[in-house]
Chains A and B, each alone.
Chain A
Amino acid sequence: GAVVSQHPSWVICKSGTSVKIECRSLDFQATTMFWYRQFPKQSLMLMATSNEGSKATYEQGVEKDKFLINHASLTLSTLTVTSAHPEDSSFYICSGGAGGKDEQYFGPGTRLTVT
């Protein structure tokens, strides 16, 4: 199956700093990518839909100024958590679709810890 990578796999940062997470589709072009957040022992919550070359669409309750999403190419989307706080500590997962196909390919996730 298609492969999606995320970098970094885990990151620890201090409160108030910004962190960038990269999501790459390695062997397919992802016209649409999705970003999810997962708190411990909970399900995945969709944060935003990222379309190549256009602005991301955020789900209700997700602050677009805090979670900056850029989808500059068909193989790369980035999520920047700005002015991170301890409550932003979570597991962030991206997924990509290969245009017209149903299956979403998920990245391995990035564990963010804000101290």
Chain B
Amino acid sequence: SQQGEEDPQALSIQEGENATMNCSYKTSINNLQWYRQNSGRGLVHLILIRSNEREKHSGRLRVTLDTSKKSSSLLITASRAADTASYFCATETSGTYKYIFGTGTRLKVLA
């Protein structure tokens, strides 16, 4: 399967703590995106990071990319109960605009 792997599969933390989830992929990529999905809902785009970038920030989110290791991480700082959702990475290969999604991390933030 071309699908990327994410770990952990599930993560439960207290409100205010930081949450880190990792994504590994198999092919060379043009860019990598992170998405959030609330239960039974559609996807919300969080951050796009290009293959020539190493780190990007957006509010409480920080994404890193290590193309040599074919991996990325998403850090959510000072988590809130509203951050409870599933988080997916998606990679685009070869300029096809076709994205392959990772297996996802289910995050639960306890109030």
Chain A residues whose CB sits within 8 angstroms of the CB of B48 once the complex forms: 102-103
Q: Which residues of B contact A1 (CB under 8 A)?
A: 45
Residues 76-96 (chain A) with a chain B CB within 8 angstroms: 91, 93, 95
- Interface residues of chain A: helix, strand, loop or mixed (majority): strand
| A residues contacting the other copy or chain, number (CB 8 A) | 24
Binary A-proximity of B81-109 (CB < 8 A = 1, otherwise 0):
00000001010100011111111101000
The residue of chain A having its C-beta at the shortest distance from the C-beta of B9 within the complex is: A41
Instruction: Please classify the interface of chain B as helix (H, G, I), strand (E, B), loop, or mixed, using the class held by over half of its residues.
Output: strand
Residue of A nearest to B50 (CB): A102
Chain B interfacial residues counted at CB < 8 A: 25
List residues of chain A with CB within 8 A of the CB of B41: 108-109
Most chain A Cβ neighbours within 10 Å, of B88, B96, B97, B106: B97
Residues on A lying within 8 angstroms of B by beta carbon are: 1, 32, 34, 36, 41-46, 49, 91, 93, 95, 97, 102-109, 111
Q: Would you mind naming 10 contact pairs between A and B with Cβ atoms under 8 Å apart?
A: A32-B97, A34-B99, A45-B3, A45-B101, A49-B98, A95-B43, A103-B45, A104-B45, A104-B97, A106-B43
